[in-house]
Amino acid sequence: MIETSDENTRLTPVTVLGLGPMGRALASAFLEARHPVTVWNRTPGRAGDLLDRGAATAGSVQDAVAAGQVIIACLIDYDAVRATLEPAQARWGNRCLVNLTSGEPAQARQMSRWASSRGIDYLDGAILTPTPAMGTPSAAVLFSGGRDAYEAVRETMAAMGGTAVHLGDDPGQASAYEVALLDIFATSVNGVAHAFALASAEGIEPERFAAFATGIGGLLPEVIKRFAQQIQSGRYPGDRSTIASAASGITHIINTASGHGIDVGMLSAARGVIDRAVAEGYGPEGLARLTTVLHTAGRP
């Protein structure tokens, strides 16, 4: 049992591997919650004020692992995690590796097998909020992997603040949510950049445009909830807007942007999906129907 809940007992020692912006934010949150914290980073000298605030620095990954009970990895990718932990596979005892590095579901499952084959308790995780949220009520972190591993670290992880959700035994679930959520972010941000480029080309001042653009952005929560209901029910009524209408709208954007010499690759790809939906007879249906057309495109 890892946890120590008695206030007179020392709180669980935490090791943070990786001192990028998020690794530093994590170490800071654990320090704030009065855990003993040891940090390690491939490149020395990145601890900022963490050492002044009480963190210890380890000279090697082996020492860093030995110093903690909960070992948190927060590196650039899973390859970096594997490369970092390769020399530190022995003497984990009942320590738990909590990997908060972003990646792909298959990589998380592979990492879990890697840990399991070395007798290392493993929990995968995905941080859904930016660094300033870490340790505050607005932090949101997803975990996946064995329930026992989650229960063993749950109290310690509370130092991250906000909401923590365990998604179940499949170690790939946290990454699965993360990539699907990043899908929204990546495409939306590209859409915002494209819209500003188009607006600027038409002589619209960015701040005047933003006043209306935020209204469009504000439509997304309702769209997301409506899509979820329709996908769940398998019914895609076109009573509010139709795919046929979207085909017309996206054509106006493509033509105007092309006229200004602005790249329309992303919009043309979206137009391709809409065209396929119309060709398959879904023109009168709502936009949530596009999710099934995308699936078809992915099959041989």
Ligand X SMILES: NC(=O)c1ccc[n+]([C@@H]2O[C@H](COP(=O)([O-])OP(=O)(O)OC[C@H]3O[C@@H](n4cnc5c(N)ncnc54)[C@H](OP(=O)(O)O)[C@@H]3O)[C@@H](O)[C@H]2O)c1
Q: Can you tell me which of 8, 43, 94, 214 binds ligand X, judged by CB under 6 A?
A: 43
Would you count residue 82 as binding ligand X (CB under 6 A)?
Answer: no
Q: What does each C-alpha distance from 144 to 61, 64, 71, 165, 174 come to in angstroms?
A: 24, 24, 16, 8, 5
Question: Tokens in use for 204?
Answer: 């619209």
Would you count residue 80 as binding ligand X (CB under 6 A)?
Answer: yes
Cα(17)–Cα(32) distance, integer angstroms: 18
From the list 283, 286, 279, the residue with the least C-alpha distance to 296 is 279
Q: Can you tell me which of 3, 33, 46, 155 binds ligand X, judged by CB under 6 A?
A: 46
Q: Between residues 18 and 105, which has the closer beta carbon with respect to ligand X?
A: 18
Q: Can you tell me which of 93, 119, 130, 249 binds ligand X, judged by CB under 6 A?
A: 130
Decide: residue 135, CB within 10 A, 0-12 exposed, 13-18 middle, 19+ buried. buried
From the list 126, 160, 166, the residue with the least C-alpha distance to 146 is 166
- Beta strands at 121-127 and 140-144: parallel, antiparallel or unpaired: antiparallel
Q: Between residues 43 and 232, which has the closer beta carbon with respect to ligand X?
A: 43
Other residues' Cβ atoms within 10 Å of the Cβ of residue 262 = 16
Q: Between residues 138 and 296, which has the closer beta carbon with respect to ligand X?
A: 138
71 forms beta bridges with 15, 97
> Phi, psi at residue 222, to the nearest 5°?
-70, -40
Q: Between residues 76 and 216, which has the closer beta carbon with respect to ligand X?
A: 76
Local structure of 39: helix, strand or coil: strand
With CB under 6 A as the contact rule, which of the stretches 35-43, 50-58, 153-161, 244-252 interacts with ligand X?
Answer: 35-43
- The nearest distance, CB 265 to ligand X, in angstroms, is 25
With CB under 6 A as the contact rule, which of the stretches 70-78, 113-121, 149-157, 239-247 interacts with ligand X?
Answer: 70-78
Q: Can you tell me which of 74, 108, 257, 274 binds ligand X, judged by CB under 6 A?
A: 74
> Phi, psi at residue 190, to the nearest 5°?
-65, -35
Q: Can you tell me which of 18, 135, 146, 286 binds ligand X, judged by CB under 6 A?
A: 18
Q: Can you tell me which of 21, 119, 249, 272 binds ligand X, judged by CB under 6 A?
A: 21
Would you count residue 42 as binding ligand X (CB under 6 A)?
Answer: yes
Q: Can you tell me which of 28, 38, 57, 101 binds ligand X, judged by CB under 6 A?
A: 101
Would you count residue 75 as binding ligand X (CB under 6 A)?
Answer: yes
> Which residues sit at the interface with ligand X, rule CB under 6 A?
18-23, 41-43, 46, 74-76, 80, 83-84, 101-102, 127, 130-131
